[in-house]
Amino acid sequence: MTEQPELAFARPGEAADLVAFLARQLRWDRTAAARVQGEGEVLAVFTQPARFGVLAVRPVPLRAPVRLDRTVSAGELIEAVDEERETLSLPAAVTGPSWAGLLPPRGGWRALVEVPHQRVRQAADTVVAEFRERTEGLPPEERTRGALDALAEEIWSRPLPDTTLPLRAVHAAHALGLLRATEPVTVLERGPWLRLRTALGSTAVRRAGVGGLSVTPL
């Protein structure tokens, strides 16, 4: 396979931000994969945080246009980023997981509602606090993986207030550091997909029973 040339990021700090995004992903799954797509002067890095049932994408502006599509090891990808030089040497392709073949569409999204940043952050903090409180309230013998997964599913399946977007997308965006910017976020839809778009990236979920299968978590 012909290797892609070294990619140069367009702005200072983009390399560090990408490393932080991938590091958060790898906390859940040290063997995680990432699908990397380049279209024009934007590199899109897709991941699936374990247990969330959500796809996340971190766009990175480039200095020069590129066209590529490759699934790689997230661990190798983070090692391939040169923070000092603001460059990335794309690692070799790997056999991708099933989610990598079912990405959200690039265009055609319809904006449903714009939500103030503070309201979204508050919703994320509430989800985390409730899960922690209810987990700690379980007797030790009942704190099984099955019980915790059921509790998480109950909480994450609720919608973000005044939207149909499940809170799992908000929680995933918070956990991946995509809610650090203070601009309002937008909830969008296209077909079976719902998407939370922030200034730093997006999380997307495929609604079960709408146009096909739901996204399955790792």
**Residue type for 83, please?**
E
- The stretch 163-178 carries a mean pLDDT of 94
Percentage of residues in the chain having pLDDT higher than 70? 93
Domains and CATH numbers, the chain: 7-100 (3.10.150), 110-206 (no CATH)
SS3 per-residue string spanning 55-75? EEEEEEEEEEEEEEEEEEEHH
**Contact between residue 194 and residue 53 where contact means Cβ atoms under 8 Å apart:** no
Helix (H) / strand (E) containing 111: strand 110-115
3-state secondary structure of 189: strand
pLDDT at 33: 96
User: Could you identify the residue written with the tokens 């906390």?
Assistant: 27
CA atoms of 50 and 204, how far apart (whole Å): 14
**Contact between residue 206 and residue 195 where contact means Cβ atoms under 8 Å apart:** no
What predicted TM-score, i.e. pTM, was given to this entire model?
0.88
- What are 20-79's pLDDT values in tens digits? 999 999 998 899 999 999 989 999 999 998 777 899 999 999 999 999 999 999 999 999
pLDDT at 1: 41
pLDDT reading at 106 higher than 90: no
Helix (H) / strand (E) containing 184: none
Count of CB atoms within 10 A of residue 19's CB? 16
3-state secondary structure of 45: strand
With a CB cutoff of 8 Å and minimum separation 6, the contacts of 133 are: none
